[in-house]
Amino acid sequence: MSQRDEAVLPLLLTQLHLPTMKRLWENIAIEAEGKGWSGPRYLSNLCEHEVAERERRRLGRYMSEAQLPKGKTLESYDFDSIAGIRKTKIIGLASDEVWIKEGMNVLIFGPSGVGKTHLAAAIGEKLVMNGSRVFFTRTTELVQKLQAAKKALNLPAALEKLDKYDCLIMDDFGYVQKDEFETSVLFELICERYERKSMVITCNQPFKEWDRIFLDKQMAVAAVDRLVHHATIFEIEAESYRRKAAMNKKKAKEV
């Protein structure tokens, strides 16, 4: 390579927004010369590094924007203590992109403290690792933001902003206040994503008690109908982790 080429190449790579290739081209050129690589193989190797680095940065952005709780992974989930949840099914679901592409839902029910949040977040982490855009939020916080947007006449824009996420994870769905303004925006969100974008919902109340969430019974029925139409439903049966931890701590002090 001539001195002119060595001077011009970094400038061209900068103009083409190829920072990884710009950083590595000299070292890889030395390796290519030593191993007798052809021109196409050298270029292919450079491109592979650029693609890999872009993928790493994309994954970092997606993981950051997902706002998933720390440490909630499938690897750290205690499947042995949970009845009604098969590890193979959860792993298969977390690795399967079909339900995300088809806008299907996952609904996780169970009493407080049995690991619903952990399971939902763990599924979300795997989805991000597989290339999906995910957003994790407590349902009450999201509803309050949507309610404020509706009062400001900006609800369509707020819903459109959430549309960029392939999967919306709504934790503690059952804690939404029984208020017609909050439940109305929640219903609008469900309708907006129906059959287009996926949701993972955790809830401590079975469907038959959703009239405690939605004031309007017809709205409750319509919400349930849309959520279950294309959904995988899990019902967790287990003793509360928090209660179990407290009891173990108490026993340890008594010994």
Q: Which residues pair with 109 in a beta bridge?
A: 203, 235
Reported pTM:
0.82
The residue that leads in pLDDT, 112 or 64, is: 64
Mean pLDDT of 122-132: 95
The whole-number pLDDT of residue 250 equals: 46
Q: What's the chain's average pLDDT?
A: 88
Please report which confidence band the pLDDT of residue 81 belongs to, taking 50, 70 and 90 as the band edges. confident
pLDDT at residue 247 greater than cutoff 60: no
- Give the pLDDT of residue 78: 87
Using a pLDDT cut of 90, give the percent of the chain over it. Answer: 69
C-alpha span between 201 and 190 (Å, rounded): 11
Contact 174, 204 (CB under 8 A): yes
Q: How does pLDDT run across 199-244, given as a tens digit for each residue?
A: 999 999 888 888 778 878 888 899 999 999 999 999 988 665 555 5
Q: 248 phi and psi, to 5 degrees? A: -65, -40
Q: How many CB atoms lie within 10 A of CB 175?
A: 15
pLDDT value for 66: 97
Residue-wise pLDDT tens digits, 18-50: 999 999 999 999 999 999 999 999 999 999 999
Return the pLDDT at 100. 95
The gap from C-alpha 24 to its chain's centroid, in whole angstroms, comes to 33
Provide mean pLDDT across the span 113-117.
90
